[in-house]
Every structure is written in C-alpha cells, then in structure tokens.
C-alpha cells in the first residue's frame, strides 16, 4: 500500500515540477466526480446527512491569460435523510453549471459559478478553489474544494448549503 501511495505522490510531484500554465486561447475538457459522499448540508432548521455521487464533464476556454469560462453537465445520485427517522429519499438527477475561473499564481485557481440540479431543487452559487497538477504537458489531475450557497427552497423549507471535495482529470489543447 505504501508503494502505491508513494507512486501516486511521485507522479503528482513530477507533474507539478514540470508545471504547465494555461494560456489565452487554450481550451480544456475534463471529467470528474464531485461530492463523493463527503457532502453534508445544513439549513435554518435542520442538518441533513446526504450521500451524493456525481459524474460530470466540463469544458472551457481561456479568453484571457489567467481567466477562463467553463460549462459542465452530468448525472448525480442523491440519497437524503437519516436512518430510522423518515427513511431515505433517493434519486438520480441531471446536473449542470457554468462559471469563471481565475488563476492568480501558476496552476492554483479560484472559480465562481452557478450550479443546478434537476429534481432536488438545487440552484446555487458556488465558490471553488483548486489546483491543476499536470501529469504531462496536456493531461492534468484537478482536486478542488468547494462551497455552495443554495438560492432556492429545499425539501425542509430552509436554505441548504454545502461543502465538499471534487476530483477530476482533464486535457488541454
């Protein structure tokens, strides 16, 4: 197990040692997963545990050095509730989003965006902070943390917010 994690760390370090930056006119495509079951949401009156797994594709374009616009679409599985209380609510939904990225230093980025999810009444503003670890000059690994603020009413009648981790891979061209 140590060898596996050591190998992953070596690849990531080697990729970041040959840091590649995005430039004006670059395009990128990526695929990834957000939330990974690490999502908890809270509202004015409730705290809900939820299991969420999301797979989505993202594409974007650097309209200026350090600035990009992006759009994403995918599917999300959501299970909300507490065992033993009212049971679970489970469903699969279409997810979508758009945003603007800013790269202040190297491959570190901040993203302000909008995200939506049909079926769960989630339409939110999101703030992401992440880093693009280039594995080669074209392929990268992208971990990020995010916070979202729900703009719509939820099942419980309160406003729901969330924090989580996203992991993805991408290619630039």
Quote the mean pLDDT of the chain.
79
Nearest to 63 by CA among 106, 94, 27, 93: 27
Tell me what pLDDT residue 101 has.
97
Residue 1: is its pLDDT beyond 70? no
- Please give the share of the chain, as a percent, with pLDDT higher than 90: 45
Of 50-54, 114-118, 141-145, the least confident: 50-54
CA-CA distances (angstroms) from residue 136 to 81, 86, 147, 172?
Answer: 42, 49, 29, 10
In this prediction, residues 122-146 reach a mean pLDDT of 93
Report the alpha-carbon angle 141-144-147, nearest 5.
160
Question: How far apart are the C-alpha atoms of 63 and 125, rounded to whole Å?
Answer: 22
CB atoms closer than 10 angstroms to residue 30: 21
pLDDT in tens, 46-97: 555 666 778 999 999 999 999 999 999 999 887 766 555 556 667 788 989 9
Instruction: Give the single-character DSSP code of 165.
Output: E
Give the pLDDT band of residue 42 (cuts 50, 70, 90): low
In this prediction, residues 10-24 reach a mean pLDDT of 59
64-68 CB contacts, 8 Å cutoff, 24+ apart: 64/24, 65/23, 65/24, 66/102, 66/103, 66/104, 67/100, 67/101, 67/102, 67/103, 68/22, 68/26, 68/28, 68/100, 68/101, 68/103
Contact 161, 148 (CB under 8 A): yes
Contact 74, 97 (CB under 8 A): no
Q: Between residues 154 and 140, which one has the greater pLDDT?
A: 140
Residue 15: is its pLDDT beyond 50? no
| Predicted TM-score (pTM) above 0.85 | no
Domains of the chain are: 2-172 (2.40.160.20)
CB atoms closer than 10 angstroms to residue 127: 15
């Amino acid at each position: 197990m140590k060898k596996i994690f050591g190998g992953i760390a070596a690849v990531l370090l080697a990729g970041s040692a040959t840091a590649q930056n995005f430039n004006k006119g670059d395009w990128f495509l990526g695929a990834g997963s957000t939330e990974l079951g690490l999502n908890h949401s809270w509202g004015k009156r409730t705290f809900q545990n939820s299991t969420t797994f999301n797979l989505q594709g993202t594409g974007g374009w650097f309209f200026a050095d350090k600035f990009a616009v992006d759009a994403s679409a995918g599917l999300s599985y959501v299970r909300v509730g507490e065992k033993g209380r009212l049971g679970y609510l489970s469903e699969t939904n279409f997810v979508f989003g758009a945003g603007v990225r800013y790269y202040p230093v190297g491959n570190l980025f901040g993203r302000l965006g909008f995200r939506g999810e049909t079926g769960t009444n989630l339409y939110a503003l999101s703030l992401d902070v992440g880093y693009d670890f280039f594995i080669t000059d074209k392929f990268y690994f992208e971990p990020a943390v995010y916070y979202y603020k729900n703009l719509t009413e939820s099942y419980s009648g309160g406003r729901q917010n969330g924090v989580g981790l996203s992991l993805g891979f991408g290619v630039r061209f």
